[in-house]
Amino acid sequence: MNSQSPVALVTGSGRGIGRAIALKLFEKGAAVVINDVGDAGPAEEVAGYIREKGGQSSVLLADVSKENEVTGLFESIISSYGRIDILVNNAGITRDQLLLRLSEEDWDRVLDINLKGAFLCTRAALRYMVKQRRGRIVNICSVVGQTGNAGQANYAAAKGGLIALTKTCAKEVATRGITVNAIAPGFIDTEMTRRLNDNIKQEVLKQIPAGQFGTTQDVAGAVAFFVSDDASYITGQVLRVDGGLVMA
């Protein structure tokens, strides 16, 4: 391995936004650990592509909501690469339902993956980053964590919590050379949004000043900025990538 390459972990990077972030970080010179759960196939495809292009990448399957799996994930990264420089907490799910019909199970699952997963990975990464006195953490939140959204009480609460976690963590580690920032995407064209019915999509489109959904590349570009040296004095911030959907 090139000892100069920063080492990045992108959770949930077998597809969608995470995949685009992993490929962008590789383009910027990082060795990239692809994490996902379940089927290793898509994750292996991402890592294989990076290796074919001459980069360094490996797949580590782990459920970010399980403490023992997160511990194993970071132990494997340190034993293979010796360090962790960039953590992107991207893994996330939706289980949409109006609050009155929302089950405890769907509340817990969304909070466990989208919020607790980021906490577990951040705590594990910080153990190494604090010693290195250098690190970059980027949390993929959502505009609905700031605005709320009917039918997404669990998801909005998790993403709002993730924004609060971002700011708190940024304050705790700012003197250690570690920045912690959040990206709040609006509607990005991925499997997650392809599941929405056409009427909802048309209604959303009408509210986006840019007149179109974002791409995974739009989010990946914002992550590349936050992890770059150009952003070393920026921490605890939330950057919306939403075509102007929310302005405040």
- Where do contacts with ligand NAD occur on this chain (CB under 6 A)? 11-12, 14-18, 35-37, 63-65, 90-93, 113, 117, 140, 142, 185, 187-188, 190-193
Minimum CB distance to ligand NAD smaller for 5 or for 33: 33
Which residues have a Cβ under 8 Å from the Cβ of 134 and sit 6 or more positions away?
85, 177, 178
SS3 174: helix
Active site residue 233: no
Widest pairwise Cα distance in the chain? 53
Min separation Cβ 62 and ligand NAD, Å: 7
Among residues 109 and 134, whose Cβ is nearest to ligand NAD?
A: 109
Rounded least distance, CB 145 to ligand NAD, Å: 9
- In SS3 terms, 16-30 reads as HHHHHHHHHHHHCCC
Using the minimum distance from each CB to ligand NAD, give the nearer residue, 64 or 87. Answer: 64
Minimum CB distance to ligand NAD smaller for 29 or for 38: 38
- The one catalytic residue among 49, 81, 128, 155: 155
- Residue position matching structure tokens 């920032």: 181
Return the closest-CA partner of residue 183 out of 224, 149, 138: 138
**Spacing of C-alpha 49 from chain mean position:** 20
CA-based angle 48:52:56, to the nearest 5? 70
Minimum CB distance to ligand NAD, residue 228 (Å): 20
Tell me the closest approach of the beta carbon of residue 195 to ligand NAD, in angstroms. Answer: 9
Catalytic residues: 155
